[in-house]
């Protein structure tokens, strides 16, 4: 197996792991019944740096896989922090979305206007 194939396999495994973590975090604490429709008063989320951090982490991980020595699979000084930051921001982003959903669902800011 070539180094390129191993690199692609690692990227694929990392994607599956991140998606698995996001699925587990998103599915915790919910009822097994039918998914409700969005409550009245739902509007755009507040500004967040999480999408920017997620993109930066993915770029850092990619740089770690690209800028490596010939005898290395990845540059550990770039790839490891990139992978850790990628997982942390993915979990934080899903948790923030769930927290906002619960806040909107349980608050009384139904102003009837579309945002």
Do 92 and 26 touch, CB atoms closer than 8 A?
Answer: no
Confidence of residue 89 (pLDDT cuts 50, 70, 90): very high
Q: Between 7 and 112, whose confidence is greater?
A: 7
Q: Alpha helix (H) ranges present in 1-115? A: 3-27, 50-66, 76-106
Q: How many Cβ atoms from other residues are within 10 Å of residue 32's Cβ?
A: 5
Helix axes 76-106 and 50-66, enclosed angle (nearest 10): 160
Q: Between 91 and 105, whose confidence is greater?
A: 91
Do 32 and 95 touch, CB atoms closer than 8 A?
Answer: no
**Across 51-70, average pLDDT:** 91
Cα gap 12→29, rounded to integer Å: 28
Cα gap 50→59, rounded to integer Å: 14
Domain borders along the chain are 51-104
Tell me the average pLDDT of the chain.
Answer: 82
Q: Between 56 and 37, whose confidence is greater?
A: 56
């Amino acid at each position: 197996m070539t180094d390129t194939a191993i690199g692609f396999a690692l990227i694929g495994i990392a994607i599956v792991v991140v998606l698995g973590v996001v699925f587990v975090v998103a599915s915790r604490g919910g009822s097994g019944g039918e998914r409700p429709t969005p409550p009245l008063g739902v509007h755009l989320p507040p500004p967040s740096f999480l999408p920017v951090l997620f993109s930066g982490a993915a770029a850092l991980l990619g740089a770690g896989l690209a800028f490596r020595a010939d005898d290395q699979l990845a540059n550990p000084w770039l790839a490891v922090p990139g992978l850790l930051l990628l997982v942390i921001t993915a979990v934080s982003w899903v948790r923030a979305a769930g927290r906002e959903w619960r806040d909107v669902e349980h608050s009384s800011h139904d102003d009837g206007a579309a945002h």
